[in-house]
């Protein structure tokens, strides 16, 4: 069986998972630095989803790292199906959180009054950008693993 670059158990997958964990952590960090994030539901939603994505990505990065070190890729259909479904669900939730955060920041910036101090809004924008980067890497991971699934 051919090895699909980016599928579970490869060094490319390890890089994608590590990138997801780093961007998700950065998104959570920039959102949490502003103590007023709890005032908006979209910001709370982003914090919740990033709190789910970080352990998922970090755990799968450790699995990928172990698979690369022992040169034994993970090719069990049941486990791969769980990973694909988990990736798709978290990818959709991450996209929803990033879009809702970006839209709320845009509304706060373009409202007629000073609803968002510039220091906080810039942090919220960076947090949304990091969430979009995390989503992009999560989508790539899920597509690579979905590509591998029918060949098992």
Return the pLDDT at 6: 79
Domain-located, residue 4: no
> Where does the pLDDT of residue 103 fall: very low under 50, low under 70, confident under 90, or very high at 90 and above?
very high
Strands (E), 60-149: none
Among candidate residues 2, 18, 17, the one with its CA nearest the CA of residue 83: 17
Mean of all residue pLDDT scores within the chain: 89
- Element counts in the chain: helices (H) and strands (E): 4, 0
Domains contained in the chain, number: 1
Tell whether 116 is covered by a domain.
yes
Residue span of the structural domain in which 112 resides: 9-147
Residue 112 in domain = yes
In a domain, 34, yes or no: yes
Question: Which strand (E) or helix (H) includes residue 71?
Answer: none
Q: Is residue 1 part of a domain?
A: no
Q: What is the pLDDT of residues 55-101, one digit of tens each?
A: 999 999 999 999 999 988 777 888 889 999 999 999 999 999 999 99
In this prediction, residues 13-42 reach a mean pLDDT of 89
Per-residue pLDDT at 1 exceeds 60: no
């Amino acid at each position: 069986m051919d090895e699909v670059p980016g599928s579970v158990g490869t060094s490319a997958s390890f890089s994608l998972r590590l990138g997801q964990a780093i961007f998700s952590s950065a998104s959570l960090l920039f959102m949490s630095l502003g103590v007023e994030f709890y005032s908006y539901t979209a910001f709370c939603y982003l914090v919740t989803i990033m709190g789910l994505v970080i352990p998922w990505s970090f755990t799968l990065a450790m699995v990928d790292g172990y698979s690369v070190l022992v040169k034994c890729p993970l090719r069990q259909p049941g486990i791969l199906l769980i990973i694909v479904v988990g990736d798709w669900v978290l990818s959709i939730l991450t996209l929803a959180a990033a879009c809702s955060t970006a839209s709320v920041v845009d509304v706060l910036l373009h409202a007629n009054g000073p609803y968002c101090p510039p220091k906080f809004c810039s942090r919220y924008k960076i947090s949304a950008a990091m969430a979009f980067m995390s989503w992009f890497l999560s989508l790539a991971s899920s597509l690579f693993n979905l590509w591998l699934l029918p060949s098992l």
